[in-house]
Homo-oligomer: A and B are copies of this chain.
Amino acid sequence: MVETLVVEGGLTLESGAHLAPLEIAYARYGDPSHPVVYICHALTGDAEAAVWWDTLIGPGKVLDTDRFHVVCANLLGGCMGTTGPSSTNPATGEPYGTDFPLFTMRDLVAVHRTLLRALEIERVDIAVGGSLGGMQILQWSLDFPGEIDRAVLVCASSRLTAQNIAFSKVARHAILTHDAMDVARMMAHITYLSEEGMERKFQRARRVPDADMTLHSDFEVEHYLDHQAKIFLARFDPGTYLYLSRVMDYYDAFADERPQPPTTKYLLVSFSSDWRFGTDHSVAIQRQLKTLGADSTHHEVESPWGHDSFLMNVPEYHRLVKEFVYQDVASAL
């Protein structure tokens, strides 16, 4: 069940802009006396981690809600209960839209920390995130040593490449210039899969094998993209897409000097067929973490499902997370 924390005083963003009130939608699973697992979601997620990440989170699963207290919040700028571009701007009584202030990865972290203070949770035993989720955790662990014991960063990045930014740019251009979030989503969806995964799933199958040629959807892969875009348009806010994609573009986790080594112990997982934030990104994170003197392990896992692998049942990946999660918290359970 999603609950909402209302922070009347609001939040001052890294830019200096002040956002008030601030609402934070969050979900909790399991006994609050158990070790805390904090989940950060990716671009299009929400607070209900045990729903969208049910491959990993739930009773008896790798992140076992019978043994951990699992907490997840909708991100700042989100459209699933936390204040964002679709929220009402108190100054106008209308939705913020693109009047919403721009914000950064640090602001996303500030919202998570605000929630934890309100919940009287002082330390996160294990923080887990894929893609943008992992980026938030990386920023958090670097900025606030001592707050996160163990971090699982799955197909994360410490800074986007020119190609990554280019894809985000095209998505934003589609939304800003043509009101075409469906196009943005379709394109992004291709980048979350792999060529091999798409070939396995669709090949060149046509909906009606001997139908005449048409400019409209005919191949099964086309119908699939139409369907994905349709359900996405119905549930998601274009403003959130704009703002959260931009947070990623500007993100550069290791740009600042770090006088103090991170105390967090990291598990990095990347997937062989992920070409959005592939193994190179995790290798770069680990190299920087080593320079800072942090304890980290990186594994590339074979999987044909591209970037989306982090949401799928990939046994080797789940085994690695399970080992990492239980190796040191065993005494606390």
Contacts and interface: CB of A to CB of B under 8 A. Distances in A.
Interface stretch (A34-42, A147-155, A183-191, A322-330): A183-191
A331 interface: no
Contacts of A19: none
B221 A166 contact: yes
A167 B275 CA distance: 15
Interface in A122-161: 159-161
Contacts of A173: 182-183, 186, 225-226, 229
Interface in A211-234: 212-217, 219, 221-222, 225-226, 229
Contacts of A179: 178
Contacts of A161: 195, 198-199, 204
Determine how many copies of this chain the complex contains: 2
A199 B162 contact: yes
A298 interface: no
User: How big is chain A's contact interface, by range?
Assistant: 35 or more
A177 B176 contact: no
A87 B225 CA distance: 31
Contacts of A199: 161-163
A202 interface: yes
7 contacts: A102-B212, A102-B215, A162-B202, A166-B225, A167-B190, A169-B221, A170-B186
A174 B169 contact: no
A159 B199 CA distance: 12
A165 interface: yes
B213 A246 contact: yes
B170 A187 contact: yes
Contact of A176 (B102, B170, B203, B216): B216
Interface of A: 15, 98, 102, 104, 159-163, 165-167, 169-170, 172-174, 176-180, 182-183, 186-187, 190, 193, 195, 198-199, 201-204, 212-217, 219, 221-222, 225-226, 229, 242-243, 246, 249-250, 252, 275
A21 to B, nearest CB: 23
Given A98-B215, A161-B198, A204-B160, A222 B166 contact: yes
Interface centre among A159, A166, A201, A243 (most CB of B within 10 A): A166
A306 to B, nearest CB: 10
B174 A178 contact: yes
A166 B190 contact: yes
B159 A204 contact: yes
A225 B170 contact: yes
Interface centre among A177, A190, A275 (most CB of B within 10 A): A190
A166 B198 contact: yes
Contacts of A170: 183, 186-187, 190, 225
